[in-house]
Structure 1
């Protein structure tokens, strides 16, 4: 993407997307992002930004934040006229929706786009809590905040709240009026926007420019956003500047190969009873069914911004789309495959041609062929309505009576293969267990190489290795959350309360104990894999230190001349109709504003004008947040063996259970490796401090709770055959009130594992772990104690072969409440004992403390 934008002379790509995250499965723009899981989205957005910006193009990560539905996302001329408010608590914001944006900032994204919606009843693009505090102060974002198109609703307040650049510049599309432009000039001259804030805006724009190395390349824009013709009006809205507007620079290179590979490798095999992969020469007749397998009668770009459901679905609709240079349909790719093998293929593109469908499916069955059914479900941006779906989907069913089509073919053919092109989860439980349906593939929205990619998988050139980035349930209600389709606040802004907290998608299914049809992370292969040998190794990270001290004071550059005559349009300046300028049309600021209310007083918060150094937030300190959050506390390794007969790639997944009221498990890392038949691969996962942490709303920082934690490794969120205890290391543990003293308690007697045989005294061992008291507050955390072993003795040994030191240590940092009657000093307590034992390492004991 970066290379293509650079080749077209584009300086900023309006992507990638991690907002919407995907709170509700019907969300219209979910397909533009990655997954409802924050870690999966965070890793994906990090890598995407790195790729885009490596080509000297600014990545603009969007939409910040909580833009989770299309209904009521923005203002309207009819009630409710104000946008929806996404209402959220601080913990959910940090642990779920802010998480991937932190990864984006850490990756160095040059720009972030603020969203249309309100957040706790304040518009995102003028919400100081969100822009100034969370994004700029806590996450350390150094780039430019860009508004979504016409998402700015005020001038001074948005500037003070942290908006740096308004797009496309005017209040209403092509109105020629702007909250910034001349009004920003007036605001600086009359003092309602301080100079340091104006300078900060400009610096942030140019910081992004230089950060990606834009100054090192010289590729000017060489295309028109509006027309494909070679010549036209350069300034479209003013209909002036006729001449060349498109140089038709081909920037595709060999990208079609990448697109085909990504589409094939991302295909998820949901079911396979042995019918796949196909061998074309052995299939006498292949029947291809469904409008989704064929072309759009109006051409691949026949619907503006892809706003229709005609032909195969390879892209959702809306402003996040692009024109296809071409689109290979599944039908033509399968036909090519069959013809090359001298076998027959027939296609039916009409989902409602019942008689023809039944007849062809029956003929395929009679000759032992294969019936391949294609079905889809589409969604997109809310300015386009398709089949009564106003951006967001109305439900989770297939479009075009896809279920009826699948059932009709399966009723007549006992080798029915289903391929799904959908923008998100769909309900498949009415047909997926049909024994005549021998295979199911979810191919997502694969792009221009759709047909070739699915043929690669169907015919075994590519062993599918994709995993579901969401959960497929058996009913809509199982997801817990829902979209707000009907206003719930009269004519006032609709109120969408995120009461589910961090429990979305698979976390909800786990919490409710509901078994999904296909779980998050699920995906089969043409081979089989076995997991074994999980190991957890502690790192040596330093103790966590909340950020302290003050930020630098805001800077100003040069001196502003407050004479309005310096900012009027230069004599002879050619103003283009509909375009935005910062010049004034009058030396009178009141007249230049054109606002009859100009001059009336408004009391903005006094601290909005404070340019002095500010106390650092505890969770701040670097792009992405406090650097200590990304210290590696543990490394988890596991072995995966290919137990099948063909080579295949496996995505091993690491989940953590943090205990308490946290989700049952949460994805924290993953990796993908190609493994030959009979071979094994070792997967290694870093576990950072943030991975093990929760958000503390009182301390405004991350902390590691005192519950026992477990690391799981497996092939999906519900298939986790490996587990091992994991806990905090290398840092202090905030201890909450109430006050109380710690008293030591012996480690409970434990039977030694087979690899460790206590020899003196015989039997089980008991060890002291803590002094009898220490002056600190709160319930005791769990700590890990380690035993060092030497090589085991010969079997004839009758005496101890060595001793190992046993050390426990913990630091407490939480101060007592002001009403505390006794001190709670910061204290480090260490005790050392010895344990005589045989056996190889590692063996881990856990010590428990009590008040």
Structure 2
């Protein structure tokens, strides 16, 4: 039995990463970062128990969530979770502080690489599978950041001002779907929501997360997100992190004054104890070797690489003289910065060597007598003439450029979507010298390519695909792997086309005036041309869609069936996307919304029939007038395609529901 004061102590961390052990009465859990690989902090102590140093234990660098989403594969998301859980077990981490499902409202958000998509369906389905993968190994997860935390600048105090419909349709559904996997914990965000801190927001935490969405696990604060611990406890935050004696004393005083009851303390305490029991009562076993984890990282990376552009079948490379350049060709960025950055112990092989190994004797690597890096330094400037000379000798130039953890990171947002000037200048200079120029792009979010996209032959999006990224890139470049990745965010023509360019740092609030028109929903509604649409990704083969059939299964339930045929000469995978359009609505609705997707493997010449179910919510919008989901009677269109703007098949249906069945209360 615990005393009241011991219960109070249990509601706050013991230090930065651990829960209280109450003088040895309870096991102490270790909570650890790691959405793209475990970031386990290891402490070293002196003979008196004082911390003398700390470091991050080396781990397998898995693809960031942005790259994981390009696979469109719940199966691979689950595998990703299993790998990271394996290292949690090996390094004694009990709860993994992942995944993050915040929506990519603006491509400038510094943490976009840590999130899945601008679309809630993609984010929710992949996060659900990731959680299932981690927790299948008896390691806990923390679904974050609840909620509407979509920028890094001023995240700790800027209030998100959002209407109910936008919250329900865009920012909540990813959490809803991920919660189906029953994550052991949910992490509340830093920001106020409509003026009330997320950590003190009774409507968001108790009424929405607990009562409506049915979450029964532990709610943990983001680190430092609690401003008033008594209010946080009353709102439903079970565990405040990290340790702060001041806040603990405030809770003690609030209890003494009767402002916080023992019943409220018990409620939170019971959830902490339940989490301890979950972590301690289950068998945990390391199942993968380091090599097997790397193999899993490579398998995921293979499907995360996206072929964005491929003029005149520049790729796959067929041999000849090939010149590979750029600092990332030697050591690629494995992810963005901040709490997700993994200490990777993998020894990278240069991209040029990997390409040469794949092509064998039919390939000759061209070299430059100089050194060029993607950073701004004098050595790079001096090397440029040698690089241009090498480019002119080559049949094809491959240039590895992009961002890294210094320019895409937690805690700050980007100020531009463009690459730095040195990299843009290098692309333009090489495009003049090279017969064919292939750009390999490392980034966790959309890039403005307007300065150079028309000057290059091909663009391969490497993303932040983890430690196996260059192996996967080499295999795609040489045709050893047929690319199957597709982007999960829109690439606009220029950064000037972005509706939410940057968060206004001069005011203490951010109004979500864009409403439900986020990402491709915005570009489609306003009929804006884009560079690469949501869901886009090229292949070395071709796919034909045919024989669409939409069968009514109930008043608002339908089965959508169609054939997909690989009409090319290469085996490949296709991501089939199903969108729904309300053709005549009384409210502003997106032109089309993704409602289902399926990735299918097809051998050359093979045909498979795909069947997908659609239900009430797939046709509904959230009516603030009725505080419920609402389906308007009338015509809808079912669209099947290879991207949001590459629609191959469509069929119209007419939905007519009795008035009493047009509305459903939130479940």
Q: Closer, same or farther in 2 for the Cα pair 1:342/1:383, shift >3 Å? A: closer
Q: Does 1:134 align with 2:134?
A: no
Would the aligned equivalents of 1:31 and 1:424 in 2 still touch at CA under 8 Å? yes
Which residue number corresponds to residue 11 of structure 1? 94
Matches of 1:165 and 1:813 in 2, distance apart? 37
Note the alpha carbon deviations across 1:594-638, whole angstroms, 9 max, x for none: xxxxxxxxxxxxxxxxxxxxxxxxxxxxxxxxxxxxxx8222111
Which residue number corresponds to residue 615 of structure 1? none
Note the alpha carbon deviations across 1:276-329, whole angstroms, 9 max, x for none: 1113xx32x32122222223xxxxxxxxxxxxxxxx322100001211121524
Which residue number corresponds to residue 372 of structure 2? 349
Deviation at 1:50, TM superposition (A): 0.9
Would the aligned equivalents of 1:648 and 1:675 in 2 still touch at CA under 8 Å? yes
Deviation at 1:644, TM superposition (A): 0.8
Deviation at 1:681, TM superposition (A): 1.5
Which residue number corresponds to residue 47 of structure 2? none
Would the aligned equivalents of 2:415 and 2:502 in 1 still touch at CA under 8 Å? no
Equivalent in 310, 316, 322 of residue 277 of structure 1:
316
Which residue number corresponds to residue 678 of structure 1? 605
Deviation at 1:343, TM superposition (A): 2.4
Q: Does 1:529 align with 2:597?
A: no
Answer 1 or 2: higher relative contact order, Cα 8 Å, separation at least 6.
Answer: 2
Which residue number corresponds to residue 479 of structure 1? 498
Which residue number corresponds to residue 72 of structure 2? none
Which residue number corresponds to residue 375 of structure 1? 401
Q: Does 1:216 align with 2:237?
A: no
Matches of 2:391 and 2:440 in 1, distance apart? 17
Which residue number corresponds to residue 165 of structure 1? 239
Secondary structure of 2:638's counterpart equals strand
Which residue number corresponds to residue 147 of structure 2? 65
Q: Does 1:196 align with 2:263?
A: yes
Matches of 2:646 and 2:96 in 1, distance apart? 38
Q: Closer, same or farther in 2 for the Cα pair 1:10/1:323, shift >3 Å? A: same
Secondary structure of 2:530's counterpart equals coil
Would the aligned equivalents of 1:29 and 1:379 in 2 still touch at CA under 8 Å? no
Matches of 2:363 and 2:519 in 1, distance apart? 46
Which residue number corresponds to residue 31 of structure 1? 113
Which residue number corresponds to residue 569 of structure 2? 645
Note the alpha carbon deviations across 1:566-609, whole angstroms, 9 max, x for none: xxxxxxxxxxxxxxxxxxxxxxxxxxxxxxxxxxxxxxxxxxxx
Would the aligned equivalents of 1:60 and 1:113 in 2 still touch at CA under 8 Å? yes
Which residue number corresponds to residue 297 of structure 2? 259
Q: Closer, same or farther in 2 for the Cα pair 1:178/1:166, shift >3 Å? A: farther
Would the aligned equivalents of 1:28 and 1:380 in 2 still touch at CA under 8 Å? no
Which residue number corresponds to residue 663 of structure 1? 590
1:493-512 to 2 correspondences below 5 Å: 494-512=508-526
Q: Closer, same or farther in 2 for the Cα pair 1:314/1:340, shift >3 Å? A: farther
Q: Does 1:322 align with 2:338?
A: no
Secondary structure of 2:367's counterpart equals strand
Q: Does 1:179 align with 2:271?
A: no
Note the alpha carbon deviations across 1:408-443, whole angstroms, 9 max, x for none: 111011211111001211111222222xx2211111
Note the alpha carbon deviations across 1:121-154, whole angstroms, 9 max, x for none: 1111111111111111111111111000011000
Would the aligned equivalents of 2:324 and 2:398 in 1 still touch at CA under 8 Å? yes
Deviation at 1:538, TM superposition (A): 2.0
Q: Does 1:451 align with 2:477?
A: no
Matches of 1:120 and 1:402 in 2, distance apart? 41
Would the aligned equivalents of 1:692 and 1:728 in 2 still touch at CA under 8 Å? no
Q: Closer, same or farther in 2 for the Cα pair 1:425/1:342, shift >3 Å? A: closer
Which residue number corresponds to residue 329 of structure 2? 293
Secondary structure of 1:712's counterpart equals strand
Of structures 1 and 2, the larger Rg is shown by 1
Matches of 1:362 and 1:686 in 2, distance apart? 57
Deviation at 1:355, TM superposition (A): 6.6
Would the aligned equivalents of 1:31 and 1:423 in 2 still touch at CA under 8 Å? yes
Secondary structure of 1:649's counterpart equals strand
Would the aligned equivalents of 1:60 and 1:109 in 2 still touch at CA under 8 Å? yes
Matches of 1:528 and 1:339 in 2, distance apart? 27
Gaps of 5+ in 2: 1-83
Would the aligned equivalents of 2:154 and 2:505 in 1 still touch at CA under 8 Å? no
Secondary structure of 1:669's counterpart equals strand
Q: Does 1:466 align with 2:494?
A: no
Which residue number corresponds to residue 802 of structure 1? none
Which one has a larger percent helix, Structure 1 or Structure 2?
Answer: 2
Deviation at 1:646, TM superposition (A): 0.8
Matches of 2:358 and 2:566 in 1, distance apart? 29
Q: Closer, same or farther in 2 for the Cα pair 1:414/1:219, shift >3 Å? A: closer
Matches of 2:647 and 2:211 in 1, distance apart? 38
Matches of 2:204 and 2:406 in 1, distance apart? 26
Equivalent in 531, 548, 554 of residue 517 of structure 1:
531
Matches of 1:342 and 1:26 in 2, distance apart? 39
Gaps of 5+ in 1: 75-82, 171-176, 221-248, 296-311, 385-389, 489-493, 542-631, 735-810, 815-851
Would the aligned equivalents of 1:379 and 1:391 in 2 still touch at CA under 8 Å? no
Deviation at 1:55, TM superposition (A): 0.8
Would the aligned equivalents of 1:468 and 1:520 in 2 still touch at CA under 8 Å? yes
Would the aligned equivalents of 2:188 and 2:219 in 1 still touch at CA under 8 Å? yes
Deviation at 1:537, TM superposition (A): 1.6
Which residue number corresponds to residue 46 of structure 2? none
1:819-830 to 2 correspondences below 5 Å: none
Which residue number corresponds to residue 303 of structure 1? none
The alignment's C-alpha RMSD in Å is 2.6
Matches of 1:812 and 1:524 in 2, distance apart? 40
1:377-456 to 2 correspondences below 5 Å: 377-378=403-404, 391-399=412-420, 401-434=422-455, 437-456=456-475
Matches of 2:238 and 2:191 in 1, distance apart? 18
Matches of 2:197 and 2:360 in 1, distance apart? 58
Deviation at 1:812, TM superposition (A): 7.2
Q: Does 1:633 align with 2:557?
A: yes
Deviation at 1:813, TM superposition (A): 7.7
Segment of structure 1 superposing worse, 459-468 or 689-698: 689-698
Secondary structure of 1:346's counterpart equals coil
